[in-house]
């Protein structure tokens, strides 16, 4: 059998010994580039933190060594001011940072944990967890300051909320029904546990070696509240989007109520 020559410049499938064209395997799927909308909640949180820091610097705050008074002015937490009625500081303090290194490290952690956690929580879930666990950490810090009669110190930074996101991820990634290979789930969960454990150890070490001041109460409060938020969400993660989102709303609303009651109890404790 004679075969016609392949025209120059034209690519044809290869021919097997019987003279038939051999089907070429399909090309491997291309990895889609990460969209700017892949984790909008995380981007919004990082953007707000950076915008607040830039606003502070533009209004005369030192980017490396802000004063206590400047931090108070821009919304940092302080036991005396909160007990005088400025409870909004429990939220605003999670967006105020003490210098460039402080915000850079917190935003790096928030960025990485957010890209991992937002597909499991959704954009609004990520924002809700950030605020709820950040407030929980600041409330525990407030309680400790009251018990120590410390009405001078200020608390600021996203680290309590970052620990909260780590806490909820440790719980959510324990769900073996997620459409993720088991070994990958274990690897991701182990990395988050290592992150939280290492940073908690570093924070506790500063109690003995006070090189820098770290608010360990805010870290612990954020981490424990994150663990607690994850527990009721796990059973509904694979039961459909509507059911999962309804469980999120119920869980976050209950958490907000409990945090309000905790804050009220702290206020009454101070009065007595």
Residue among 212, 121, 99, 218 at smallest CA distance from 165 = 121
Which phi-psi region, left, alpha or beta, contains residue 9 (left: φ > 0; alpha: ψ -120 to 50)? left
> CA torsion sign, 163 to 237 to 242 to 42?
positive
* Rounded Cα–Cα distance for residues 222 and 139 (Å): 9
The phi, psi pair for 155, rounded to 5°, reads -120, 135
> CA torsion sign, 265 to 267 to 270 to 272?
negative
* Rounded Cα–Cα distance for residues 55 and 49 (Å): 10
* Rounded Cα–Cα distance for residues 97 and 106 (Å): 9
Residue among 214, 251, 246 at smallest CA distance from 101 = 214
Q: Which residue has the tokens 């009220």?
A: 264
Active site residues: 159, 219
Q: Which residue has the tokens 């440790």?
A: 170
The phi, psi pair for 15, rounded to 5°, reads -110, 135
């Amino acid at each position: 059998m004679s075969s016609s020559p392949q025209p120059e410049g034209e690519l044809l499938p290869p021919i097997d010994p019987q003279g038939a064209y051999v089907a070429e395997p399909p090309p491997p799927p291309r990895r889609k580039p990460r969209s700017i909308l892949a984790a909008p909640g995380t981007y919004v949180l990082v953007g707000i933190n950076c915008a607040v820091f830039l606003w502070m610097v533009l209004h005369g705050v030192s980017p490396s060594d802000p004063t206590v008074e400047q931090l108070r002015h821009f919304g940092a937490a302080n036991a005396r001011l909160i007990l005088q009625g400025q409870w909004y500081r429990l939220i605003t303090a999670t967006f105020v940072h003490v210098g460039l290194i402080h915000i850079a490290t917190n935003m790096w952690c928030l960025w990485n944990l957010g890209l991992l956690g937002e597909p499991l929580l959704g954009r609004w879930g990520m924002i809700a967890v950030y605020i709820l666990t950040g407030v929980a950490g600041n409330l525990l810090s407030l309680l400790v300051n009251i018990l120590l009669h410390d009405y001078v110190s200020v608390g600021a930074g996203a680290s309590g909320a970052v620990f909260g996101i780590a806490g909820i991820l440790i719980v959510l990634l324990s769900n073996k029904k997620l459409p993720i290979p088991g070994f990958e789930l274990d690897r991701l969960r182990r990395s988050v546990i290592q992150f939280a454990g290492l940073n908690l150890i570093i924070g506790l070490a500063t109690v003995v070696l006070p090189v820098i001041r770290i608010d360990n109460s805010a870290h612990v409060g954020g981490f424990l509240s994150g663990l607690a938020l994850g527990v009721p969400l796990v059973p509904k993660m694979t039961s459909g989007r509507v059911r999962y989102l309804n469980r999120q709303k119920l869980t976050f609303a209950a958490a907000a109520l409990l945090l309000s009651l905790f804050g009220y109890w702290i206020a009454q404790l101070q009065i007595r």
